[in-house]
Every structure is written in C-alpha cells, then in structure tokens.
C-alpha cells in the first residue's frame, strides 16, 4: 500500500470509527432530569418544545432517553427536596426553569451539569462566573439580558403612554435580590432619564396576590409592569383581570400575559430558546463540560398587543407605538 493510499485508508477508518461511536452514543439509554418551578399542567407547549428539540438530534423520550420530570407546582419550598431526589437517582444532567430551581439544584450538586432554560442575572446571582466562561457546572440561557430588556421596556412604555409618570412593577422571586428586571439602582436611573418613577411591589409565597394588588391600587400608578417568574406565571388570569378592572395599561415579559387578556408583552422568544435545548444536552452528554459552554442571550424579542384589551380600557395608542408592534391579538 502506497503512502497516499495508507493515509486515505486511515482517514476513512477514523471517520468510520467516529460515526460508529456517535451512533453508539445515541443508542445508549441516557437519563436526564428536568426541574420546573411551575406545574405539570401549565407548560404543555414548553414540554413539547423540549422533547421535540431532543428528538431532532435522536434523543427520543421512551426510546433512548429517560426524562425524569419534577414539578414544584408553584411551591418553591418543594424545590430543594425535588432537586435532591434528582441527584439521588443519578441523572446525567438537570434542566432547570427559573432561578429558584437553578439555585435548588446548585445547592444539591456541584458536579452534575445544570442547563438553565429560563434564568435571569446568572452572574449577579452567583450561578456563573461569566457568560463566555461559566466556570462551574451551570450553563444555558440568560433569558432577560438586563440592559437590553430594561431600556426597551421603558421606551415601549413611554411610547404607549407618553404622559405616564409612575410605573408600579410587580416582582416575583429573585434569588439573591439582584434578579429584578425593573427597580434596581441602574433601572431607576434609566427610568428617571425618561421621566418615569418606578415602584417595586414584591409578590412572595407569604404575601398573597390579593394583598399585593390592593397595595398597587393604593399607589395609583399610570402603568402596571409585571415581571415573569414562577409566582406571577401562576396568576396571569387574575393579574390580567385586575389590570382590566382598574383600566390600567399593563405590560409583561411573557407573551402568555397578552394572550390571556393583558394589554402588552415584550420579551424574548422563550419557545425559540427551548428549541435550542437539544444542542446543550447533546454537547454535555457527549462529554463537553458546562464550565466551557457559553451562556446564551436570546436573539429575538417580540412586542405583542392585545387590541381588545386596549379598547376595553379606553387606551388610544399613538402611531409611533403601533409602528413598533410585532403582533396584534384581536
């Protein structure tokens, strides 16, 4: 065999071995965990997006993939127990939704890889060292990039209600106190530059929704802003009904809010990020370490208007605002 033929043979053999190894890895039954802060009946579209993303790269639930689903049912106190259970049954990686779930898993293990699907302020909350090099056992998505989202929120609010002065922000759980899209020192300075005053109202498991909404009425805001969190996500119907009853222009980061009767939503394409889940899972199961897999920011944001709600609260939206709307719910 000539030198050229030998090299071609070795290259071909190496490629064949790599292909066979890849097929062998895919044919193994892998076991991963998913810890959701929300309820099992609240997220059918999200569950489908995750399983479809995995199936496209040949990880098929019930075939070569076992998914251990765990749901806290909007009871954050259950998260530590569920996280420890996933660690105990020795899953190969754990996917988390929202900061409290990520924190619970991080406290339960520093070795099992964690992919955070819906996370906020991961550096400030101590989950990662940096977006480019996370440095520990956590990677995934920084769902709400602070500077980008906050500035756009204020721009949208001022376009929608030009004479607005006071914004009340209903906040869910943070983790360390750093994870608030609105209301921190940076955000207050930005709001003041646009002639807005921001007041934060915290919704926690011990402070009921009714109490928080009564407090908001007393504050007499011009605009009502709602952050996305496990707690607020469990009450979209009630929050939307409250804003409608008060004839209060409102906005959230979650498109579900606008779909359920809220006036506006502006935020990242969550389903698009869930669709990217498979790439993270695949890389980790093939041996990549989370410490070296960059944390991604969303690339697509959408402004959604519920026109029926706008009419119901008597809000006439300026042309400059309507030109920014990506989608209208009739």
Query: Does 81 lie in the same domain as 104?
Result: yes
| pLDDT per position as a tens digit, 161-219 | 999 999 998 887 654 444 444 445 556 777 788 888 888 888 776 668 899 999 999 99
> Is 260 a domain residue?
yes
Query: Does 244 lie in the same domain as 173?
Result: yes
pLDDT for residue 60 is more than 90: yes
> Is 325 a domain residue?
yes
CA 265, 270, 271, 273 torsion: positive or negative?
Answer: positive
Q: What is the DSSP string of 256-301?
A: HHHHTT-SEEEEE-HHHHHTTHHHHHHHHHTT--GGGSPPBPP--E
Q: Which residue has the tokens 């075939």?
A: 63
Non-local (6+) Cβ contacts of 248 within 8 A are: 221, 223, 224, 242, 313
- Report the mean per-residue pLDDT for the chain: 85
> Is 2 a domain residue?
no
Q: Which two tokens stand for residue 35?
A: 């810890």
The Cα 6–Cα 12 span in angstroms is: 10
Q: What is the mean pLDDT of residues 275-300?
A: 93
Which of 39-53, 89-103, 168-182 shows the lowest per-residue confidence on average (mean pLDDT)? Answer: 168-182
Q: How many domains does the chain have?
A: 2
Question: CA angle at residue 175 from 171 to 179, to 5 degrees?
Answer: 55
20 confidence band (pLDDT: 50, 70, 90): very low
Helix axes 277-285 and 44-56, enclosed angle (nearest 10): 50
pLDDT for residue 7 is more than 70: no
Q: What pLDDT is attached to residue 24?
A: 44
> Is 207 a domain residue?
yes
Helix axes 99-108 and 79-88, enclosed angle (nearest 10): 50
Domain span at residue 284 reads 30-144+271-292
Nearest CA among 117, 141, 152, 116 for reference residue 253 = 152
Query: Does 224 lie in the same domain as 119?
Result: no
Nearest CA among 118, 106, 104, 108 for reference residue 269 = 118
Query: Does 262 lie in the same domain as 113?
Result: no
Q: What is the mean pLDDT of residues 304-314?
A: 96
Is residue 18 within 8 A of residue 242, CB to CB? The reply is: no
Alpha helices (H) along 161-208: 185-193
Query: Does 316 lie in the same domain as 249?
Result: yes
Non-local (6+) Cβ contacts of 317 within 8 A are: 160, 305, 310
Query: Does 283 lie in the same domain as 224?
Result: no
> Is 71 a domain residue?
yes
Query: Does 126 lie in the same domain as 70?
Result: yes
Q: What pLDDT is attached to residue 179?
A: 43
Q: What pLDDT is attached to residue 268?
A: 86
Residue 289 Cα to chain centre, angstroms: 22
Query: Does 242 lie in the same domain as 169?
Result: yes
pLDDT for residue 99 is more than 70: yes
Q: What is the mean pLDDT of residues 45-55?
A: 89
pLDDT for residue 289 is more than 70: yes
Task: Kindly state the helix (H) or strand (E) to which residue 21 belongs, with its residue range.
Answer: helix 3-27
Q: What pLDDT is attached to residue 181?
A: 47
Q: What is the mean pLDDT of residues 56-62?
A: 94
Query: Does 169 lie in the same domain as 93?
Result: no
pLDDT for residue 150 is more than 70: yes
Q: What pLDDT is attached to residue 284?
A: 97
Query: Does 275 lie in the same domain as 263?
Result: no
> Is 162 a domain residue?
yes
> Is 218 a domain residue?
yes
Q: What is the pTM of this model?
A: 0.80
> Is 64 a domain residue?
yes
| pLDDT per position as a tens digit, 205-264 | 666 889 999 999 999 999 999 887 777 877 889 999 999 999 999 999 888 899 999 999
The Cα 229–Cα 97 span in angstroms is: 10
Query: Does 109 lie in the same domain as 173?
Result: no
Query: Does 139 lie in the same domain as 65?
Result: yes
pLDDT for residue 300 is more than 60: yes
Q: What pLDDT is attached to residue 12?
A: 53
Which of 22-26, 83-87, 244-248, 318-322 shows the lowest per-residue confidence on average (mean pLDDT)? Answer: 22-26
- The enclosing domain of 165 has a CATH number of 3.40.50.2300
């Amino acid at each position: 065999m000539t030198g050229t033929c030998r090299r071609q043979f070795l290259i071909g053999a190496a490629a064949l071995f790599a292909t066979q190894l890849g097929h062998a890895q895919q044919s193994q039954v892998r076991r991963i965990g998913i810890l959701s802060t929300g309820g099992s009946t609240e997220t059918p579209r999200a569950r489908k997006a995750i399983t479809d993303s995995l199936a496209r790269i040949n990880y098929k639930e019930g075939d070569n993939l076992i998914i251990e689903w765990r749901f806290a049912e909007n009871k954050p106190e259950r998260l530590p127990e569920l996280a420890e259970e996933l660690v105990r049954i020795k899953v190969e990686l754990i996917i988390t939704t929202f900061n409290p779930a990520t924190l619970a898993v991080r406290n339960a293990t520093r070795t099992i890889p964690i992919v955070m699907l819906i996370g906020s302020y991961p550096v400030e909350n101590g989950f990662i060292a940096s977006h480019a090099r996370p440095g520990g056992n956590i990677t995934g998505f920084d769902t709400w990039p602070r500077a980008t989202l906050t500035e756009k929120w204020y721009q949208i609010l001022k376009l929608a209600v030009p004479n607005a002065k006071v914004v009340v922000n209903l906040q869910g759980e943070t983790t360390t106190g750093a994870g608030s899209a609105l209301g921190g020192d940076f955000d207050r300075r930005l709001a003041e530059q646009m002639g807005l005053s921001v007041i934060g109202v915290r919704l926690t498991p011990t402070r009921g929704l009714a109490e928080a909404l009564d407090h908001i009425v007393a504050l007499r805001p011009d605009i009502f802003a709602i952050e996305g969190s496990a707690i607020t996500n469990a009450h979209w119907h009630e929050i939307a009904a409250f804003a409608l009853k008060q004839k209060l222009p409102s906005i959230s980061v979650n498109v579900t809010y606008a779909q359920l009767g809220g006036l506006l939503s502006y935020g990242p394409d969550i389903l698009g990020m869930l669709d990217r889940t498979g790439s993270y899972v695949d890389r980790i199961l093939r041996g990549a370490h989370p410490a070296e897999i960059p944390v991604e920011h969303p690339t697509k944001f959408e402004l959604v208007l519920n026109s029926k709600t706008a009419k119901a609260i008597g809000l006439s939206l300026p042309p400059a605002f309507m030109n920014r709307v990506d989608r209208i719910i009739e």
